[in-house]
Amino acid sequence: MYMRTSNFLICTQKETPADAEVISHQLMLRAGLIRKLAAGLYTWLPLGLRVLRKVEAIVREEMDRAGAQEISMPVVQPAELWEESGRWEEYGPELLRIKDRHDRDFCLGPTHEEVVTELVRNEIKSYKQLPLNLYQIQTKVRDEIRPRFGIMRSREFLMKDAYSFHETPASLADTYDVMHGAYSAIFTRLGLDFRPVIADTGSIGGSSSHEFHVLAGSGEDDIAFSDGSGYAANVEMAEALPHSDTRAAASDDMAEVATPGVHTIDELANSLAIPAETTVKTLLVKADDDTGSPVALVLRGDHQLNEIKAEKLAGIASPLAMVEEDAARATCGAGFGSLGPVGLAIPVIVDRSAAVLADFVCGANKDGFHLTGVNWERDLPLPRIEDLRNVVQGDPSPDGNGNLQIKRGIEVGHIFQLGTKYSEAMQANVLNENGKNVPMFMGCYGIGVSRIVAAAIEQNHDDNGITWPTAMAPFQLAIVPLNMHKSEAVAACAEELYADCVAAGIDVLMDDRNERPGVKFADMELMGIPHRIVIGDRTLADDKLEYKGRSDDEATLLPREGILAALQERMAS
Amino acid sequence: MYMRTSNFLICTQKETPADAEVISHQLMLRAGLIRKLAAGLYTWLPLGLRVLRKVEAIVREEMDRAGAQEISMPVVQPAELWEESGRWEEYGPELLRIKDRHDRDFCLGPTHEEVVTELVRNEIKSYKQLPLNLYQIQTKVRDEIRPRFGIMRSREFLMKDAYSFHETPASLADTYDVMHGAYSAIFTRLGLDFRPVIADTGSIGGSSSHEFHVLAGSGEDDIAFSDGSGYAANVEMAEALPHSDTRAAASDDMAEVATPGVHTIDELANSLAIPAETTVKTLLVKADDDTGSPVALVLRGDHQLNEIKAEKLAGIASPLAMVEEDAARATCGAGFGSLGPVGLAIPVIVDRSAAVLADFVCGANKDGFHLTGVNWERDLPLPRIEDLRNVVQGDPSPDGNGNLQIKRGIEVGHIFQLGTKYSEAMQANVLNENGKNVPMFMGCYGIGVSRIVAAAIEQNHDDNGITWPTAMAPFQLAIVPLNMHKSEAVAACAEELYADCVAAGIDVLMDDRNERPGVKFADMELMGIPHRIVIGDRTLADDKLEYKGRSDDEATLLPREGILAALQERMAS
């Protein structure tokens, strides 16, 4: 759509707003995409809404293409349904609960599993009507305790939420794959560097889940992904492999060294002038028996325990519980900082990477002493080996292809196989082929539509402002006439080019404001318009116009003749 | 967009739902446009959402064309702003008030004057930035005490609300006219029979206002409109003119007749065997003095007092207060039913139409008696003449062109000149040309987007279901193959035509369900698809297909050759 700045509300600001912590929030305020109404509540200005609508349109097109059907459910939801699913009690204060004028309980929907399940259990009676995938693009409300980062973590946000219904887990898995593909298509079309990552299913329940993350330094999550394949997972979820399957032969003798005042791995490595990766640390956690007796977990000194992995292991209490120092001393003969696996009479589990160490250093189970030159199967038996740690940069990829990179990601999408959690609780059944009433299998699929706008800026900006991917830019082209109100030649050329762009269907913004060139340039760069053409008397005298791509270092002079085709070529590339 | 019924959630119902009072509510449920979640809360199913989106798109296009700029404000609004405008106290329990987790007051916005004024007072500083017209299309919440008529009076609904800001009343009037034109364009494009009617400005305040009504028998408002011009007004607002400017000469003598037991005009007309329009009735209301002394209002017997008009008159208490019967008797010497204007010693005001009567009948101010053959300026002085009554069918149009028709209307749009009500209360000022800080003049412009869908059905339906105007139909064409799953010829022809329609960009629904023909026909008619083509072996044998327009009595056979062009021709007409 075409527009003149004289008819378009431009609300750019020079100063970085004081209370905006992250760059996307700063730039969304400065470029005039949004304005704050109250904590976590934002108005989308015309410029911002254009971007949001572009994202929304791509999401809708790909959902439709994937066979999902759009519906629109109410924002206000009756408490009764949440009581049926059990979430009226379970859900925290993020659920904004309200009472209507008749004192009946309702909530503002942060998500719509209950409502859609109520709809489908009433409308769908037979397996023949399945599978069914329903979605909506809707304002959601979540009463964040501390809204922050602008629209990234706001109380009102635009969400695409989809819910699929199936007779069988296999059908659910099929649709799940289709949604995985649709999400990949969406983020690819948006022009974002993203990763679908294997995710923990967390509190929502269910059996399989992927998050879609836009990679950006300011992300809240650590994502591990292979440099040699499509593998990606949340750091907590990624399987940690050792760099080698085999252990070097022992070359040193085991020896006890005094390490007075040494309590941490850093202190140990410094004190002995050795790399931390040649040490191991020993952590004591409680077993899952009645007494919570200690189990020793042994990891390489530079690695971090992954609590999610540990508490899933047989024999270990879940949630994970650390043993107190008194109990550790009673069991091992030393306090934290001097524990080690040698000679322990309790169950020991060793991480895969620690299990392939030779000549390693560990606590001596004697305060102020460590052992050096320790070797498995010589100085102590090789214990049970498990995956106990978080992956680190450079680890082998679990799929065997390439090595892991770790970057920060912003979650913008999430797909879940819910199974029958909601359909069983709410008796959402269908008759199957055998005439038997069975609960439907469900999947749910969310995209944070407004969040994508912020994530895109986190990934695409420079010192001058936003550098939108083409598909998200509010306008493709800015026409910036200089001294338009004084120079007839400039005005005529600008109007002619603008009319040509309008006729060609280009998303063009004509900056016909009576402002200084510097103000116009700064605004167009801040707003991130990918292509800019400047029209001034100086270059017009040579029948030239000045072109600059948003990320170009320098402007280029283009002949006035054939300028539209030249611009179209640049916009298509 | 094209679709197959096998991939499209069809939720038609044969039975009329018991709790749906109006036809649009019944048909929206039966055709599967909406489903009820709770009182006044509805989910839009895929079929209904297609219609809603078509309406939304037309509204957006015309608003953009009229120079309005789209924004999106939060649904949740802080109480502080409503306290500034004074509406936190004024607004009734329709305003759904909520508290967030920090116990702060918010409400769910039924309208956004406060929020947009807050935005504009922060962003706009100079008259040079005006006029400005901002709109949004958004879910609104109003906690109706008794939600009813489906989405016609629901608690959540989709609204287009626009707000304009101006330096001068003249600029406001200009934009108001532009919005009037845009609204007319919207309802014309939607294919609805509508009237823009002069409206009371009511509680929202301000100086000028029009409502846009879709005419339909089930409407809640009576609309008076001229059959000879574009004049239209709410019945309460329309100026009532007499049929004649002159009074006939007196021909009877005044005489007293006994009318025992007569209390009403109907009884009087029956008792004397005369038309009600030759009688007058006399009502006593209180004056606006300290004692509320009586004033007599005299109207033709068959006319109704318009209280809004009466209470605006000088000398009459506002709000209008009727005099009690005891006080009437003390003043006039008779009770209700026998009052009349002859010989009264209190102020009398006569309606224009009663003032041109000759030889009329009225109460004798003596219980059980009336006077006949009464004439102004002979038997009593002609008192002050005013417009006191509601217009009736056949009255002269106030603009001098044609006569008034009265139909019921459904309000789907409303435009207001608000003036400075909000800008003064909230200090939304700009610097004018003289460098003086002045409050902005504001207009507001609403359209009930979801309500339009119901109103359109109230106006466009028959015994078989909905008869959508073209622009609102969820699909333009239904292809109904008979026995498709058994006849290869039918399947091949249907698939070919469907593919042709898809390629031609036709909104086509292919009914590929394995259902009986009667079920398919009934569903397509109920859903209101304007054009239907039936493909069956019987007509295929003659290379013919059966076409039927939604409101055609009979189907027509069309040659299979060139069928697409033939359909396109019919769809364009």
pLDDT tens, position by position, B319-363: 999 999 999 999 999 999 999 999 999 999 999 999 999 999 999
Distance from CA of B498 to the nearest CA of A (A): 17
Q: Cβ contacts (< 8 Å) between B101 and chain A: which residues?
A: 93-94, 96, 143, 145
* Chain mean pLDDT for chain B: 94
B47: nearest CA partner in chain A: A71
Say if residue B503's pLDDT is above 70. Answer: yes
Question: Cβ A1–B64 below 8 Å, yes or no?
Answer: yes
Structure tokens that stand for B140 in this block = 């609104």
Say if residue A207's pLDDT is above 60. Answer: no
The pLDDT score that the predictor gives to residue A18 is 85
Closest CA to B154 of A230, A74, A7: A74
Tens digit of each residue's pLDDT (9 = 90 or more) over B244-300? 989 999 999 999 999 999 999 999 999 999 999 999 999 999 999 988 899 999 999
Tens digit of each residue's pLDDT (9 = 90 or more) over B183-233? 999 999 999 999 999 886 654 444 589 999 999 988 888 999 999 998 999
B7: nearest CA partner in chain A: A67
Measured N-to-C along each axis, helices B449-459 and B23-30 cross at an angle, to the nearest 10 degrees, of 100
Q: Cβ contacts (< 8 Å) between B141 and chain A: which residues?
A: 75-76
Alpha helices in B337-487 (DSSP H): 352-355, 421-425, 449-459
Q: Among partner residues A43, A52, A115, which is closest to B73 by beta-carbon distance?
A: A43
A43: nearest CA partner in chain B: B73
Average pLDDT over residues A405-420: 95
Contacts of B209 by beta carbon, 8 Å cutoff, 6+ apart: B198, B199, B200, B201, B202, B414, B415, B416, B417
In terms of DSSP bridges, do strands A69-70 and A132-141 run parallel, antiparallel, or are they unpaired? parallel
A11: nearest CA partner in chain B: B123
Say if residue A374's pLDDT is above 50. Answer: yes
Closest CA to B22 of B181, B147, B171: B147
Tens digit of each residue's pLDDT (9 = 90 or more) over B102-143? 999 999 989 999 999 999 999 999 999 999 999 999 999 999
Say if residue A183's pLDDT is above 90. Answer: yes
The pLDDT score that the predictor gives to residue B202 is 54
Interface of B with A in 53-92 (CB under 8 A): 64, 67, 69-78
User: Is there a cis peptide before residue A319, judged by omega within 30 degrees of 0?
Assistant: yes
Question: Cβ B71–A49 below 8 Å, yes or no?
Answer: yes
Measured over all CA atoms, what is the biggest interatomic distance in chain B, rounded to whole angstroms?
Answer: 93
Question: Cβ A70–B143 below 8 Å, yes or no?
Answer: no
Question: Cβ B101–A43 below 8 Å, yes or no?
Answer: no
The pLDDT score that the predictor gives to residue B371 is 97
**Residue to test with chain A: of B69, B91, B161, B507, most A Cβ within 10 A:** B69
Question: Cβ A46–B69 below 8 Å, yes or no?
Answer: yes
Question: Cβ B141–A8 below 8 Å, yes or no?
Answer: no
Say if residue A200's pLDDT is above 80. Answer: no
Say if residue A134's pLDDT is above 90. Answer: yes
The pLDDT score that the predictor gives to residue A263 is 92
Q: How far are the Cα atoms of A395, B237, B462, B543 from residue A401, in angstroms, in the given order?
A: 11, 79, 66, 61
Dihedral (C-alpha) A551, A555, A556, A560: value to the nearest 10 degrees? 110
Structure tokens that stand for B200 in this block = 């009371």
Average pLDDT over residues B486-508: 96
A42 close contact with B: CB closer than 8 A:
yes
Tens digit of each residue's pLDDT (9 = 90 or more) over B241-259? 999 989 999 999 999 999 9
A114 touches A426 (CB < 8 A): yes
Tens digit of each residue's pLDDT (9 = 90 or more) over A518-553? 999 999 999 999 999 999 999 999 999 999 999 999
Indicate the DSSP class of residue A376.
B
The pLDDT score that the predictor gives to residue B478 is 98
The pLDDT score that the predictor gives to residue A201 is 61
B498 close contact with A: CB closer than 8 A:
no
B425 touches B220 (CB < 8 A): no
Q: Among partner residues B52, B78, B141, which is closest to A76 by beta-carbon distance?
A: B141
- ∠ CA A517-A520-A521, nearest 5°, is 85
Tens digit of each residue's pLDDT (9 = 90 or more) over B157-171? 999 999 999 999 999
Specify the residue for token string 């059990």: A86
Average pLDDT over residues A468-496: 96
- CA distance linking residue A308 with residue A318, whole number of Å: 9
DSSP B313-347: STTB-SS--BPPHHHHHHHHSS-TTS--STT--S-
Q: Cβ contacts (< 8 Å) between A100 and chain B: which residues?
A: 96, 143, 155
Which ipTM did the prediction report? 0.89
Q: Among partner residues B44, B70, B77, which is closest to A72 by beta-carbon distance?
A: B44
Structure confidence at residue A439 as a pLDDT band (50, 70, 90): very high
Amino acid present at A234: N
- ∠ CA B90-B95-B98, nearest 5°, is 115
- CA distance linking residue A284 with residue A346, whole number of Å: 10
Distance from CA of A190 to the nearest CA of B (A): 22
Closest CA to B482 of B457, B510, B448: B510
A134 close contact with B: CB closer than 8 A:
yes
B36 close contact with A: CB closer than 8 A:
no
